[in-house]
Structure 1
Amino acid sequence: MPDTFLAILSVRNEAGFLLEWLAHHRACGFGEFLVFSNDCQDGTDAMLDRLAEMGLVVHKRNEGPYDAQGIQFTALNRASDLPVVRRADWVLPLDVDEFVNIHVGDRTVQALTRALPEATAITLTWRLFGNAGIVPYEDKPITEQFTHAAPEILYWPWRSAMFKTLHRNDGSYGKLGVHRPREPRADRLADARWFDGEGRELDDKFKTTRIFSNYGQPNYKLAQLNHYPLGAMESYLLKADRGRAVHSDHMLGMDYWVERNWCVEEDRSIHAMTPKMRAELAALMADPVLAELHENAVAWRKSRLVELLEHEPYRALMGRLMMTPPARPVPPQAARYLTQHARRAQELSTKPPTKP
């Protein structure tokens, strides 16, 4: 019996993008979807209810109370005991702006696990796709609009090398996590085999704590995770209004934008999946209920944007987005300078206090 692959998603006010995301991941081999929603004003929860009626997703409302670590961690903690999770062979938690991009075989997750048959976990490293000067929000596929990305090899910031983990649901970990499975079980770690998107086997630190790949090296030979954290400038205002996925009470600003607005290289590799994605999307949009909910969500986004621009903080943020050029790569020497100080700070934070 073939392995089952489950994608887990948490969303709020994302109905304008949800069907593309679902269509893409159905095309690349995921057969099960568990989606949590919370506090939606744009009909995302209604869209997920319809998708659940059609048997395409399992939808759970995640209305709180929330754990200290935030909404997304709460959802993942609640997911562990659900039947859709227990029956999955492989699990991958994702965000709606992340798209799996496989570079081997038929470009499915099944092809990736066949390429790494000994793996029990595979890290999918982000490739950050920048804004490329696009101002208006348009109802077009994200993967087709944004094609300029970070260079394949970056030396800074370390966040650019964060990964999500496709892992076997074999009981080696007690809890799901945003970037990696948590609560490793000591009696199972010896059998865990972690590999990266380049096909390299990873050391033991990845089995327990690591959440980012080694930067300053290629990481995408077999697979990457296309990450579109910014979108159009207008969409970024709406994202700032929504709040961060993990820390929803933190308003997004220019720091988040600058570290992710990479437009150095063109990467259209995900477009190899466009015909399959478009076919899946057309099948979804053929449902009149889903089509209407999508159109309503697009209208909501445009209306909400007008409301936000009536307030100075959002007008000011839009002006700064328009004035700020794309990020430029930090040279290796400068990156070493920053890394040196980061390691020193880490050492000081773990050093026992001296006695008076």
Structure 2
Amino acid sequence: MFSRAEYDRRIALARDAIASSGADLLLADSGELLAWLTGYTVSETMYRAAFLPRDGEGWFCLRALDEAPCREQSWITDVVGFADTEEAQAAVAASILGHGFGKARIGFDTNSYCMSSATFMRLQALLPDATFVPMQGVGDSLRWLKSREEIAVLAQASQIADKAMAEIARQVTPGMTTRDAAAIASGVFLREGADTGEVGPVVKAAGSHEFLHGVFKTEAIGEGDTLHVELIPRVANYGARLMRPIVVGRPPDELAVTAERLVALQDLQIAAMKPGARACDVDAIMRQGALNAGLRPVYENVTAYTLGLYTRTPRTSDFSGVFLPTSDWSLEQNMVFHLYATAQGLGFSETVVVGSNGGIRLTKSPRAIL
């Protein structure tokens, strides 16, 4: 999906981070960093890692069963495979020794969900002459600013979300179930080129905002019901996100008014998403606006979070950059966020990239109850 020039850009960014940390070698083991840096990622059935020296060629160490797809999808040609009968950490350590880095300063992301305390202690024991250099959050921070190629893929995923949302709104009728609605979206995903048919939450909305993380189950849809639909299609592991309320029948006037007020506040947020804007100030537009308008009694959740590359990870959302009252950091051009607002049984969200003059919506669905 990406050019060699794009990977050269990523390699240069990673090497800058390595140099800044004082390390000689970067150990990459989280699914997202592997995909971003090498073009290939695989779940951690057994420990595996890729390595990028500050100078010299990178290499990959993983199960022999995964060698062929790694060679096919990655720019890395030096792929070291180990048998399932071997200890994975020992094989990874042996590859470091074999490449002459047994006494090196090895940079690693202390936030990586693959670097368990057991794995870290085992690698230390196997590499007694190496020095491990913490590079906290490097797997996320390297990916915060998106390239033109990455934004193009996110735009493709956004188009799939828009098509799927429109199809649910067109087809859903009383007597169908939430599972039927999800199946409509899943079919669109697969036909339009998404990585999988995984849809996201499709639930009957109720209350204020509690439905947001509702458990998917088979519920009958009746006249007047509001469906909360969140779509999360991925293309080349890059995920767009889109939320809309879909009412079966004509939306009540009071819901339509609430929707207009939520969307108006969110539009102000999007317009404020310029380079240099503080995340907490952009957050306050929605948070304080919704509270002041009486749309919610409390507003405790984030109003946006980082969006981009997702793989098989323990986390379903990337909260390395979020909009909260405490988020005292500045937006930069080409950051991408999932911006969302919920109140009174309604939820609206967009995939938004920070542009030079404000946020740009990659998702284009109508900004109203469907």
- Smaller-chain TM-score bracket: under 0.3
- Tell me the TM-score normalized by structure 2: 0.25
Flag the structure with more relative contact order, 1 or 2, with Cα contacts below 8 A and sequence separation at least 6. Answer: 1
Normalized against structure 1, the TM-score is what? 0.26
